[in-house]
Amino acid sequence: MRWIDGDKRVEISLKLNGRKVRGRAESRTLLCDFLRHELGATGTHSGCEHGVCGACTVRIDGILARSCLVLAVQTQGREVESVEGLGTPDALGELQAAFRRHHALQCGYCTPGILVSMNDLLEREPAPAEDRVREVLSGHLCRCTGYTPIVRAVLDAATRLAGGATGQNPRNEDV
Amino acid sequence: MKPARFDYARAGSAEEAFSLLHEYGEEAVALAGGQSLLAMMNMRLADPAVVVDLSDCTELDFARVAGDRVEIGAMFRQAALERWHGTQTHLPLLSSMLPYIGHYQTRARGTIGGSMAHADPSAEIPLAAVTMGAEVVLRSVRGERRVAARDFFLGPLDTERDPDELIWSVSFPSYDNWAGMAFEEVAYRHGDFAIAAFAAVADADTVVLGVGGVAGRPTVFEWPRAALEDIDAELAGAARELEVLSDHHADDHYRRRLLRSVAPNVLARAVSAASRRGSES
């Protein structure tokens, strides 16, 4: 058993996007705040802080989680994947590139959580129907772009990822 | 929107969790998937002194068929239940209700035991449990007891569980081939809390209607098949009998209307499914 007094800050070590990291947190520190303030991983956005908006969605040990509904101390020894793991500005992941092509974001606040969710969906279900994408997207709130270009981007990424093995569309050209 | 201060304990085993709950009683809460509890703590609607994290209690993470029952461990996740091979075969009613629980993202982490313990009046798993006649297996340092799901829920966020007890599992009767089932939920958007949810099970002699979201706890009505002849009168009586919730999304009048207008279709679908099964066997 691990016991942490409420008035103590303790060291937490975990893997973030495959890299070993450590930081300090109180028992009441939320994972989203720990990622942003302590680890400097500001890709994860903190929105509603009660599990509704989806902006802070990450994966813990391969399972999707609202990082506002997880305590930082719960991730001791676990593996967290955040939006930073999906690509870099110079080398966007297939899903990120599709979001850019389809203008699937405006302010970008909700985008990190949506990318993490949709990455999870495409890993589990590589060829989702549009209805399925919309259903999964219902776990996220976007207040400026609207959902249509997001759905298009996810479906396009799914097609390209499926064709990737045969070398189709290597240049990510506009659609 | 941050939780107030609390002491945190990650229990290494269910035995450790029992000891902690025994020691701290009402001051402690057990943390399963956290999809409701942490939201309530963030909003300071819950302010526990001690949080007992069950995420290392792997012995609570199971699903198995045992004779004519299906036992689901408290830490079995909702998404795992969606994927488990036995769900569709042995728990078809629950299987049809799972997609309505929260969202893809919350089902990934939300657990069966957490949903039962939280006891939201509109929640799908408690509704499935009362409609199917499941039992809740509670354990503590004092031992084990089994409580019928129909007696387990007392009111909104209130259950028969004592403060030192942990939900070990939920034991469902396996519905293989003898009953017909149907489910329908009314919500403003898919994934929202149900304004009203109806689950029905029909066999050769009786029909069972489970009603969620309408009263302070999931409620069950049972009638002989013959009562379906005059189901409108039965449902009018049920609507009068229930203490119906009222909020800014839907007032009590509307919820009663839903009970009287939607439930007959759900019951008819269950009966027709039962007849199909009957003619096949």
ipTM field = 0.94
Nearest CA in chain B to A60: B109
Tell me, yes or no, whether B136 and B215 share the same domain.
Answer: no
Residue A172 clears pLDDT 50, i.e. is over it:
no
| Domain topology for A9-85 | Ubiquitin-like (UB roll) (3.10.20)
Structure token pair of residue B43: 């909003």
**pLDDT bracket for residue A163 (50, 70, 90):** confident
**Burial label, B240 (beta-carbon count in 10 A; 0-12, 13-18, 19+):** exposed
Q: What is the pLDDT of residues B98-118, one digit of tens each?
A: 999 999 999 999 999 999 999
Alpha helices in A26-147 (DSSP H): 31-33, 94-101, 111-124, 130-137
Q: What is the pLDDT of residues B161-190, one digit of tens each?
A: 999 999 999 999 998 667 899 999 999 988
| pLDDT score, position B280 | 59
B6:A6 CB<8 A:
yes
B35:A139 CB<8 A:
no
Task: Tell me which residues of chain B have a pLDDT lower than 70.
Answer: 176-177, 279-281
Q: What is the pLDDT of residues A122-141, one digit of tens each?
A: 999 999 999 999 999 999 99
In a domain, B2, yes or no: no
- The parent domain of residue B261 ranges over 180-280
Q: Label residues A43-54 b or e (16+ Cβ within 10 Å = b).
A: bbbbbbbbbbbb
Sequence-ordered list of residues with C-beta below 8 angstroms from that of A40, at least 6 positions apart, any chain: none
Residue A165 clears pLDDT 50, i.e. is over it:
no
In a domain, B1, yes or no: no
Residue A171 clears pLDDT 60, i.e. is over it:
no
Q: What is the pLDDT of residues A14-39, one digit of tens each?
A: 999 999 999 999 999 999 999 999 99
| d(C-alpha B132, C-alpha B17), whole Å | 29
- Tell me, yes or no, if B257 comes closer than 8 A to chain A by beta carbon: no
Q: Indicate left, alpha or beta for B240 from its phi (over 0: left) and psi (-120 to 50: alpha).
A: alpha
Task: Give B190's contacts in chain A (Cβ within 8 Å).
Answer: 135, 138
Q: Which residue, among A17, A14, A18, A113, has the nearest Cα to A73 in the 3D structure?
A: A14
**pLDDT bracket for residue A168 (50, 70, 90):** very low
| pLDDT score, position A63 | 97
| Domain topology for A87-166 | DNA polymerase; domain 1 (1.10.150)
Please give the tally of structural domains in chain B.
3
| pLDDT score, position B279 | 67
State the span(s) of chain A assigned CATH 3.10.20.30.
Answer: 9-85
Q: What is the dihedral of CA A156, B192, B112, B41, to 10 degrees?
A: 110
State the span(s) of chain A assigned CATH 1.10.150.120.
Answer: 87-166
Selecting from B3, B38, B104 the residue whose C-beta is nearest the C-beta of A139 gives: B104
| d(C-alpha A33, C-alpha A168), whole Å | 40
Computed over every residue of chain B, the mean pLDDT equals 95
Residue A4 clears pLDDT 80, i.e. is over it:
yes
